[in-house]
Chains A and B, each alone.
Chain A
Amino acid sequence: MTGILDLLTSSQAARYQEFQSFTSDKIQHSADQWDRDQRLPDSIITELAEAGYLGSTLPQEFGGAGWDTVTFGLLSEALGRGSSSVAVLVTVQAMVTMALLKWGTPAQKAEWLPPLAKGRMLAAFALTEPGAGSATDSLTTQLIPDGSDGFTLHGTKRWISCAQMASVFLVFAKLEGQPVACLVPGNAPGLLIEPITDLLGFRAAGLAQVSFDGVTVPAGNIVGKVGFAISHVATLGLQHGRISTACSGLGLLRGCFEESIAYASNRKIGESYVGDLGMIRSLITRMGTDLQAGRLLCFHACRAEDDHDPAAFEKTLVAKYFTSRAAGLAASDAVQIRGASGCHDSSSAARYYRDSKIMQIIEGTTQIHEQLLGKVFLGQAARIASKTV
Chain B
Amino acid sequence: MSAEQLQRVKQVLREFILDSINIRNLGDDDDLFESGIVNSLFAVQWMTFIEKKFKIEIGVEDLDIQNFKSLNAATAFVMRQNGSADLTSL
In contact, A231 and B22 (Cβ under 8 angstroms) = no
A255–chain B nearest beta-carbon distance, Å: 30
Q: Which residues 46-62 of B sit at the A interface, judged by CB distance below 8 A? A: 46-49, 51-52, 60
Query: Given A105-B60, A224-B63, A386-B24, A310–B49 Cβ distance below 8 Å?
Result: yes
Report chain B residues within 8 Å CB of A379: 20-22
Q: Tell me whether chain A's interface is mostly helix, strand or loop, or mixed.
A: helix
Report chain A residues within 8 Å CB of B45: 310-311, 313
A286 at the interface (CB under 8 A from B): no
In contact, B22 and A239 (Cβ under 8 angstroms) = no
Binds B, one of A6-14, A39-47, A167-175, A370-378: A370-378
B3 at the interface (CB under 8 A from A): no
In contact, A312 and B60 (Cβ under 8 angstroms) = no
B43 at the interface (CB under 8 A from A): yes
Across the A-B interface, how many residue pairs have beta carbons closer than 8 Å?
Answer: 59
Q: How far, in whole Å, are A317 and B45 apart by their CA atoms in the complex? A: 13
Q: 0/1 per residue, A296-327, Cβ < 8 Å to B? A: 00000000000111111110010000000000
Report chain A residues within 8 Å CB of B18: 383
Q: Tell me whether chain B's interface is mostly helix, strand or loop, or mixed.
A: helix
In contact, A231 and B39 (Cβ under 8 angstroms) = no
Q: Which residues 29-75 of B sit at the A interface, judged by CB distance below 8 A? A: 39-41, 43-49, 51-52, 60, 63-65
Q: How far, in whole Å, are A180 and B53 apart by their CA atoms in the complex? A: 29
In contact, A308 and B39 (Cβ under 8 angstroms) = no
Among B24, B39, B52, B65, point to the contact of A375 (Cβ < 8 A).
B39
B84–chain A nearest beta-carbon distance, Å: 15
A235 at the interface (CB under 8 A from B): yes
In contact, A378 and B41 (Cβ under 8 angstroms) = no
Report chain B residues within 8 Å CB of A378: 22
Query: Given A224-B60, A224-B63, A382-B22, A235–B48 Cβ distance below 8 Å?
Result: no
Q: 0/1 per residue, A94-115, Cβ < 8 Å to B? A: 0000000001110000000000
Among A231, A235, A308, A376, point to the contact of B51 (Cβ < 8 A).
A308
